[in-house]
């Protein structure tokens, strides 16, 4: 897959489950999500469901998009499996120069064909699909020619995530899955050799991560070996077992060699000081931001917007802390420093939370309450035929505590959408208490707003009213995350939480996290922010725990641009809403704005703005 994941040890679904709302790991699964179309027929067309009025140009474009997607799966089996096309499970691309040359010429050829399509001749759904395809192809070209992560990020060389996905997804009987795994495993030694040969100047951080990931890869190989003992593996012949075991042994040796080679490399990079910096630098950051966020604003402008938003939030929190001081701190002297004052109030309020055994139950109870609020306040239509199923995260997907939406991929429209919540059973008392304080009485409600209603789940249901395979596969992550963050604010503006100062203060802390993510990402990758400065920004100035701050520091070293998607999408949506309000005057209706905004699917906000008749 060209889109890189920095933590590829977990299957895709587990990455989604690991999403703690705005603290998401770099896998915006809802982008790839897809709920069954209203007629239950399953998704088939490449773009919008053809209406009777679909023009000839739209149909021609749809055929072209369909041909491209099928050709892409044939070229890139890992992308195919990630999208749910398991008939490619037995293949694996060897990450060498020859493969990359093929991928580049493929991207260039398809780019020419899509650039020849006249956008003006297309309806809105096809036109936004065309925009997403052009952006994807240009982003692929950029990844192969300029980003060139294969030269510096060994953590992308990892077979575990997809092997685990193939093993644990029930897409076919186990013997068939084992045959696919066996074919794929045969290619693993060549895969790691090519990965090693491609490295030019790795960073210390990604090299260390790749070394740390090796035991996880070995454990997935062990799991495959254990699956042979499963009753369901009975149809797998003795000869096939023998072959699979030999391939597992060779794969294991390849991973051990890879780890050893990286360990040697890391030591010599440390000694010579020749490692590449994990900081992306201004030029690459600006370009990557352009492809991934697709905002009408530049990365630098977005950073400036985040700085302003931060000041506004802190001023508001300062006032709220004054308001809540006596109620929460009684006669304690009020610190002059606003961070100390706000932090003290947040700390006291955080003690109000559910009991650990009620965590899942409380989330389940809140979803219908949120839906009733949306309907009674005329904010959006809700589709009662697509209820969200709240469930405990399946055990094999756990690994990181949290909650998140798991939507079926575009090729499995018959599957349900789940809200996975990991119960706190496995945590120590201290860990559970820390998690419960973080997801306290107020923040837990905001989490549910973000993940479910009217956040990710509701957005998916609306997007699928005009199902688009292109946008389900290559949709804009900043729009998806931005909508969920926007939903939080919109709910509070509608009076949800009774306008209580406690609710607004906790909301502000939560929102400050998204804002700070943008500031941190830009500051670290472009402006050279140090670790000490970053930890101070996160802990003292954004009221995060040391654990959260340290995890964030690690994440910003290993990823770039993903952290900025939450605030960037949110800021663009807020700006669009206020422009529409101004342009429409008395005619502006919040519900109409929401419905129209969501009707275009997961397209970039500036594209939706154009379609809404707004020029910027
Ligand atoms: Zn989210
Ligand atoms: Zn407590």
Question: pTM for this structure?
Answer: 0.89
431 alpha carbon to ligand 2 midpoint, in Å? 11
pLDDT at 393: 87
Q: How many alpha carbons fall within 13 Å on the CB side of residue 328? A: 22
* Locus of tokens 């919040």: 590
Ligand nearest to the CA of 356: 2
pLDDT at 411: 84
Two tokens at 38?
A: 């209203």
pLDDT at 463: 87
250 alpha carbon to ligand 2 midpoint, in Å? 50
Ligand nearest to the CA of 432: 2
- Per-residue pLDDT of 163-215, as tens digits, reads 999 998 889 999 999 999 999 999 999 999 999 999 999 999 999 999 999 99
470 alpha carbon to ligand 1 midpoint, in Å? 20
Ligand nearest to the CA of 438: 2
Cβ(467)–Cβ(527) below 8 Å: no
pLDDT at 19: 27
- CA–CA separation, 360 vs 308, rounded Å? 37
Q: Which residues of the chain have pLDDT under 50?
A: 1-52, 614-616
Cβ(488)–Cβ(450) below 8 Å: yes
Ligand nearest to the CA of 33: 1
Cβ neighbourhood burial of 201 (10 Å; 0-12, 13-18, 19+): exposed
Cβ(488)–Cβ(509) below 8 Å: no
544 alpha carbon to ligand 2 midpoint, in Å? 17
428 alpha carbon to ligand 2 midpoint, in Å? 13
Phi and psi for 421 in degrees, rounded to 5? Answer: -125, 125
- CA–CA separation, 23 vs 12, rounded Å? 16
pLDDT at 385: 78
222 alpha carbon to ligand 2 midpoint, in Å? 39
354 alpha carbon to ligand 2 midpoint, in Å? 8
- CA–CA separation, 264 vs 268, rounded Å? 6
pLDDT at 3: 29
416 alpha carbon to ligand 2 midpoint, in Å? 34
449 alpha carbon to ligand 1 midpoint, in Å? 10
Phi and psi for 221 in degrees, rounded to 5? Answer: -60, -40
DSSP character string of 411-455:
T-TTSPPEEEE--GGGS-HHHHHHHHHHT-HHHHHHHHHHHTSSS
19 alpha carbon to ligand 1 midpoint, in Å? 7
- CA–CA separation, 268 vs 316, rounded Å? 50
25 alpha carbon to ligand 1 midpoint, in Å? 10
- CA–CA separation, 482 vs 567, rounded Å? 6
Ligand nearest to the CA of 437: 2
pLDDT at 396: 67
369 alpha carbon to ligand 1 midpoint, in Å? 20
- CA–CA separation, 438 vs 431, rounded Å? 11
Ligand nearest to the CA of 449: 1
281 alpha carbon to ligand 1 midpoint, in Å? 26
423 alpha carbon to ligand 2 midpoint, in Å? 16
353 alpha carbon to ligand 2 midpoint, in Å? 6
Sequence ranges of the domains in the chain: 56-147, 154-272, 292-612
346 alpha carbon to ligand 2 midpoint, in Å? 13
188 alpha carbon to ligand 1 midpoint, in Å? 34
92 alpha carbon to ligand 2 midpoint, in Å? 48
Cβ(616)–Cβ(606) below 8 Å: yes
DSSP 8-state assignment for residue 564: G
Using alpha carbons only, give the angle 169, 175, 180 rounded to the nearest 5 degrees.
Answer: 70
pLDDT at 399: 60
DSSP 8-state assignment for residue 143: I
Cβ neighbourhood burial of 196 (10 Å; 0-12, 13-18, 19+): middle
- CA–CA separation, 416 vs 34, rounded Å? 10
Cα distance between the two ends of the chain: 34
pLDDT at 409: 78
Q: Which residue in 188, 561, 534, 368 sits closest to 196, CA to CA?
A: 188
């Amino acid at each position: 897959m060209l889109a890189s994941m920095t933590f590829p040890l977990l299957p895709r679904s587990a990455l989604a489950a690991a999403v703690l709302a705005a603290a998401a790991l770099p896998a915006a699964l809802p982008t790839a999500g897809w709920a069954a179309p209203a007629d239950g027929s399953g998704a088939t067309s490449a773009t919008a469901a053809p209406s009777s009025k679909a023009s000839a140009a739209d149909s021609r474009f749809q055929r072209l998009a369909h041909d491209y997607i099928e050709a892409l799966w044939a070229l890139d089996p890992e992308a195919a499996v990630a999208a749910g096309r398991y008939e490619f499970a037995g293949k694996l691309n060897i990450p060498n120069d020859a493969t990359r040359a093929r991928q580049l010429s493929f991207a260039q050829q398809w780019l020419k064909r899509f650039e020849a399509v006249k956008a003006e001749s297309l309806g809105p759904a096809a036109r936004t699909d065309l925009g997403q395809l052009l952006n994807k192809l240009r982003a692929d070209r950029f990844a192969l020619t300029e980003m060139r992560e294969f030269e510096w990020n060994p953590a992308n060389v990892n077979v575990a995530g997809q092997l685990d996905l193939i093993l644990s997804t029930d897409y076919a009987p186990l013997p068939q899955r084992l045959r696919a795994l066996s074919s794929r495993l045969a290619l693993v030694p060549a895969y790691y050799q090519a990965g090693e040969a491609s490295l030019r100047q790795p960073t210390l951080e990604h090299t260390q991560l790749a070394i740390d990931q090796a035991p996880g890869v070995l454990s997935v190989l062990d799991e495959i070996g254990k699956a042979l003992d499963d009753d369901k593996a009975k149809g797998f012949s003795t000869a096939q077992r023998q072959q699979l075991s030999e391939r597992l042994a060779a794969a294991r040796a390849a991973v051990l060699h890879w780890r050893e080679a990286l360990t040697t490399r890391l030591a010599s990079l440390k000694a010579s000081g020749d490692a590449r910096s994990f900081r992306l630098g201004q030029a690459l950051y600006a370009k990557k931001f352009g492809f991934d966020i697709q905002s009408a604003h530049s990365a630098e402008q977005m950073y400036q917007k985040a700085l302003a938003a931060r000041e506004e939030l802190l001023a508001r929190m300062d006032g709220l802390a004054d308001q809540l001081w006596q109620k929460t701190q009684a006669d304690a002297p009020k610190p002059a420093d606003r961070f100390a004052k706000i932090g003290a109030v947040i700390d006291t309020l955080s003690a109000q939370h559910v009991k650990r055994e009620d965590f899942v139950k409380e989330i389940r109870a809140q979803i219908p309450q949120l839906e009733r609020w949306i309907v009674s306040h005329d904010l959006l239509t809700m589709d009662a035929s697509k209820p969200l199923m709240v469930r405990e995260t399946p055990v094999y997907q756990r690994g990181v505590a949290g909650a998140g939406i798991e939507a079926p991929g575009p090729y499995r429209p018959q599957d349900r959408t789940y809200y996975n919540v990991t119960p706190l059973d496995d945590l120590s008392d201290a860990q559970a208490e820390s998690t419960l304080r973080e997801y306290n009485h107020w923040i837990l409600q905001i989490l549910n707003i973000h993940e479910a209603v009217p956040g990710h789940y509701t957005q998916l249901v609306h997007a699928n009213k005009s199902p688009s395979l292109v946008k389900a596969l290559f949709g804009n992550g900043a729009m998806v995350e931005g909508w969920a963050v926007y939903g939080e604010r919109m709910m509070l503006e509608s009076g949800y939480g009774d306008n209580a100062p406690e609710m607004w203060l906790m909301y502000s802390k939560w929102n400050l996290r998204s804002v700070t993510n943008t500031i941190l990402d830009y500051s670290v990758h472009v402006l050279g922010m140090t670790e000490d400065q970053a930890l101070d920004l996160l802990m003292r100035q954004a009221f995060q725990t040391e654990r959260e701050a340290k995890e964030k520091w690690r994440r910003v070293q290993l990823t770039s641009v993903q952290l900025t998607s939450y605030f960037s999408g949110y800021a663009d949506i807020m700006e669009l809403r206020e422009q529409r309000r101004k342009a429409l005057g008395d005619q502006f209706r919040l519900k109409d704005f929401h419905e129209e905004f969501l009707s275009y699917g997961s397209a970039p906000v500036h594209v939706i703005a154009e379609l809404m008749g707004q020029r910027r």
